[in-house]
Amino acid sequence: MRLGDHLCLTYGTDAEQRDVVGAFVAGGLRTGERVLYLADRTGPDDIDAWLAGRGVDGPAARVRGQLQYRAGDDGYLAGDRFTPAAVIDSLAAAVEAAHQEGYPALRVTGELGWAAGATLGAETLEDYESEVDGLFATGDLIAVCQYDRRAHHPVRLAGLIAMHAVQLVAGPVQVGDQVSITATYDPPGFAVAGSLDAAAVPALRDALAAALAGPGDVWVDLSTAAFVDVAALRMLVRAATALPTGRRLRITGARAAVLRVIEFGGWEGAPGLVVTPGEPA
Amino acid sequence: MTAAVNGLRHQALLYDSPDAFAGAVLPFVEEGLRRQQPVLAVIHADNLMLLRSELGAAAAAIEFIDAAGWYTFPGRTMGRFYRYCEKRAGTTDRIRIVGEPVWTGRDELETVEWNRFESILNVTLGALPVSMLCPYNSQLLPGPVLAAARRTHPELAGGTGSETYAQPASFYAECDETALGDPPADARCLDFDADLALVRRFVARHAPALGLPAGRLDDIVLAVNEVATNAVRHGGGTGRLALWRAGNRVLAQVSDPGRLAAGVFGYQPSASIASGGHGLWITRQMCDLVEIRTGAGGTTVRLHVTVDPAGQDRSRTSQTHTSSTSTPGPTS
């Protein structure tokens, strides 16, 4: 993810929401951006608890104005109804205010669970998701729209997802019963459980592409990978060597068998590659 | 010796006495030291002591390795030589290696594969700026080993051409003339398709029962997976795996109906990370021996892992650890 992105997250459990949104908010606070949280059912205390788990002090961030929390009438539902133009105007004002106050960017995340209920104007959410894109062109705004899969109708949800440039998926991508690849957000990358062989190549390629699209280092956790074939490791090493200077692909939890392939392949000193050994848990 | 070639110079030294050894090896390494080139001496323990004492203080600039811990299994040794040279190729005009293979205690198959190694080395290291001098003790070694040395080294020590030198491709084909034969009737067999997880589970279940040590299971599972992946991808989508025990070896054989294009099958590393072909190169290093036959009748790859603890640990236990002796690597 990067500035200028209009992302959506679909989640099916509170833990998934906590992991992804917690990492998103904490990441923004750490990099000095302003973070605006437009809440529906999550209270400020919940967010503080997420942040505390990541070593970030939520109350202090609110006191100094870096973290802003808005809900209900203050958030999406001014005048107890949803009006796309009003929300877009208030977001534009928030971007401007963040600038005025010296923040390099504004990071927004909002819960859209209210749109699944009998909220006035809920049917105009699609108009909003489409029109709000204009705000991102300047590149100093990044937003994650949160959709709870338990609340929204799947057909409507599919249409809403398609209106976002990138979808964050919490929860693993499964290939048959032999491998699952789970995106991680703090640190950013993915974790592999099961076996990476020829059948897993497409899933690995997708996970790698999604991780490489973000900024900074890419973390690949192999601590629960039971088997990694030569082609899969070569794909990781190749991605590492193609990274621009300063970015790294970090393989963690590499078992003896993985280390041996890296040694025999002559990939030990590959530019952009950092390998940390680890034994099975 | 003035190197008129950019790539590999590969010479055999047939010596009949310690004096003859020192008389040829000393000037070779001393010239390297004079030119500030990296010098690696992988030689037998007695020659190691001899060369050290002859060199005196100058020995400190040379990397000495006991041949017994380096010449363990052909694929692995080739990988070590390649990585040693590849790592240093950009930093020097020439790398000097004294490489004395181990011939004692080798059975017939191992002898063939080590001859093949000496020949294919001309290809694997061919493009690298390496001068390699390979001592052969003509008093101790059997005639066929000495004859093969003349066929696998383009030159003899001193720089004269070897009249009986054979091109690596034709020597390789000669080594393949012995047919592999069928697996025994009691081999455990599996016909497989694209479900490689099934292949790996089959190996993991049966190889330990054949006496494979737990520490080698990952190696053979990976090697079989790579060869089976090739069979599925290039061999028509299916293959047959057979596992059995023969003497002190566990064997895993993968057969498929496809035919490989001519080549040295895993004895030449891929040119870059972007190109394919890493699987067999790594498989050659994972296993103790790899035999490959391909033709109109299909392709057979037979992987050997030694069970005998003495053979298996040869690389670790017989290593000499002294101040200037380096170890070949953590997983030898």
Shortest Cα distance, chain A CAs vs residue B273, angstroms: 6
- Hey, which residues does A43 pair with through a beta bridge? none
Amino acid present at B180:
L
CB B58 within 8 A of CB B30: yes
> Which of A227, A259, A265 is facing B282, going by the closest CB pair?
A265
Is the model's pLDDT at B82 over the cut of 90? yes
Instruction: For residues B128-148, give the mean pLDDT.
Output: 97
Q: What is the mean pLDDT of residues B66-70?
A: 97
Query: Does residue B82 belong to the interface with chain A, where contact is any CB pair within 8 Å?
Result: yes
pLDDT at B323: 36
pLDDT, residue A54, reads: 84
- CA A255 to chain CA centroid, Å, is 28
What residues of B are in contact with residue A264 (Cβ under 8 Å)? 79, 281-282, 285-286
Of the candidates B200, B278, B282, which has its C-beta nearest A227's C-beta?
Answer: B200
Q: Which two tokens stand for residue B52?
A: 């050290």
Of B102, B284, B145, nearest to A261 (Cα)? B284
Model-level ipTM above the cut of 0.95: no
Say which of A229, A257, A264 has its CB closest to residue B79: A264
* Token pair listed for A163: 């209106």
Cis-peptide into A187, omega within 30 deg: yes
Burial A142-160 (b: 16+ CB within 10 A, else e): bbbbbbbeebbeeeebeeb
d(CA B264, CA B261): 10
Q: Which DSSP category does B161 fall into?
A: B
Q: Which of A175, A180, A196, A197 is best to mutate for the B interface (most B CBs within 10 A)?
A: A197
Closest-CA distance, B162 to chain A, in angstroms, reads 33
Which tokens in the block code for residue B319? 């290593």
pLDDT at residue number A265: 95
Chain A residue nearest residue B273, CA to CA: A238
| Selected residue with higher pLDDT from A137 and B228 | B228
Mean pLDDT for all residues in chain B: 90
Sheet holding A218-228, edge to edge: A173-175, A179-185, A188-196, A218-228, A249-254, A273-277
Q: Which of A195, A256, A264 sits opposite B286 (nearest CB)?
A: A264
- How far is it, in rounded angstroms, from Cα B282 to Cα B284? 5
Give B194-214 pLDDT, tens digit per residue: 999 999 999 999 999 999 999
Helix (H) or strand (E) holding B137: strand B130-137
Residue located via tokens 């640990």: B313
Kindly state the tokens that stand for A227.
């088997």
pLDDT at B271: 76
- Cβ atoms of residues B123 and B10 within 8 Å: no
- For residues B67-84, average pLDDT: 97
> Residue B107 has what pLDDT?
94
Q: In A, which residues are within 8 Å of B225 by CB distance?
A: 197, 227, 229
Q: Note the pLDDT of residue A2.
A: 67
Q: Residue B324 — very low, low, confident or very high, per pLDDT cuts 50/70/90?
A: very low
Q: Look up the pTM and report it.
A: 0.75
Band of residue B5 on the pLDDT scale cut at 50, 70, 90? low
- Is the predicted pLDDT of residue B329 greater than 50, yes or no? no
Buried b (16+ CB within 10 A) or exposed e, B159-188: eeebeebbebeebbeebeeeeeeebeeebb
- Does A222 contact chain B (CB < 8 Å)? no
**pLDDT tens digits, residue range B263-276?**
888 898 887 777 77
Q: What b/e readout covers B293-314, taking b as 16+ CB neighbours within 10 angstroms?
A: bbeeebbbbbbbbbbeeebbeb
Reading chain A (281 residues) residue by residue, the pLDDT tens digits are 667 788 888 887 787 788 889 988 998 998 899 999 999 989 999 999 999 988 899 999 999 999 999 998 889 999 889 999 999 999 999 999 999 999 999 999 999 999 998 889 999 999 999 899 888 887 789 999 999 888 888 888 888 888 887 767 666 666 666 888 888 776 788 999 999 999 888 889 888 887 887 778 999 999 999 999 999 999 999 999 999 999 999 999 999 999 999 999 999 989 999 999 986 54
Please name the residues between 162 and 191 in chain A that touch chain B, using a CB distance below 8 Å.
178
> In chain A, which residues have their Cβ closer than 8 Å to the Cβ of B330?
263
Residue A221 DSSP SS3: strand
Cα–Cα dist A211/A190, whole Å? 7
Are A231 and B229 a contacting pair at CB < 8 A?
yes
Q: How many residues does chain B have?
A: 332
**Cβ neighbours of B279 in A, within 8 Å:** 230-231
A280 touches chain B (CB under 8 A): no
Residue of A nearest to B224 (CA): A229
SS3 B289: strand
B266 in contact with A at a CB cutoff of 8 Å?
A: no
Q: What is the pLDDT of residue A273?
A: 97
Would you put residue B21 in left (φ > 0), alpha (ψ -120 to 50) or beta?
alpha
Rounded to an integer, what distance in angstroms lies between the CA atom of residue A67 and that of residue A62? 5
Portion of chain B with pLDDT greater than 90, in percent: 81
Band (pLDDT 50/70/90 cuts) for residue B49 is very high
Taking CB atoms and an 8 Å limit, are B222 and A261 in contact across chains?
A: yes
Name the residue with higher pLDDT: B316 or A202.
A202
Identify the H or E element spanning B300: strand B298-306
Contact B259, B294 (CB under 8 A): yes
For residue B251, CA distances in Å to A2, A35, B260 come to 52, 61, 21
Predicted local confidence at residue A281, as pLDDT: 44
Measured between CB atoms, does B219 come within 8 Å of chain A?
yes
Q: Where are the alpha helices (DSSP H) in chain B?
A: 18-34, 45-55, 67-70, 74-88, 108-124, 143-152, 168-175, 196-206, 217-234, 278-286, 309-312, 314-317
- Judge whether A7 and A165 are in contact, CB under 8 Å: yes
Rounded Cα distance between A274 and A262, Å, is 11
The alpha carbon of residue A236 is apart from the nearest alpha carbon of chain B, in Å, by 10
Q: How many C-beta atoms surround the C-beta of residue A41 within 10 A?
A: 12
Between strands B39-43 and A188-196, the pairing is unpaired
Considering only the beta carbons, identify the residue of B269, B274, B331 that sits closest to A238.
B274
Between CA B85 and CA B25 the distance in angstroms is 19
Interchain contact, A227 vs B232, CB within 8 Å:
no
**In the predicted model, is pLDDT for residue B253 greater than 90?**
yes
Q: Using CB atoms, which residue from A198, A230, A238 is nearest to B196?
A: A198
Q: Is A242 exposed, middle or buried (0-12, 13-18, 19+ CB in 10 A)?
A: middle
Instruction: Tell me the chain B residues in contact with residue A261 when contact means C-beta distances shorter than 8 Å.
Output: 222, 282
Select the residue from A174, A179, A230 to test the B interface by mutation, using most B Cβ atoms within 10 A.
Answer: A230
| Å between A261 CA and nearest CA of chain B | 7
Note the pLDDT of residue A280: 52
Is the pLDDT reported for residue B299 higher than 60?
A: yes
| More confident: A173 or B133 | B133
Instruction: Name the strand (E) or helix (H) holding A183.
Output: strand A179-185
Strands B298-306 and B289-295 come out as antiparallel
- Nearest Cβ partner of A266 from B83, B200, B330? B83
The chain A residue lying nearest B220, using CA atoms, is A257
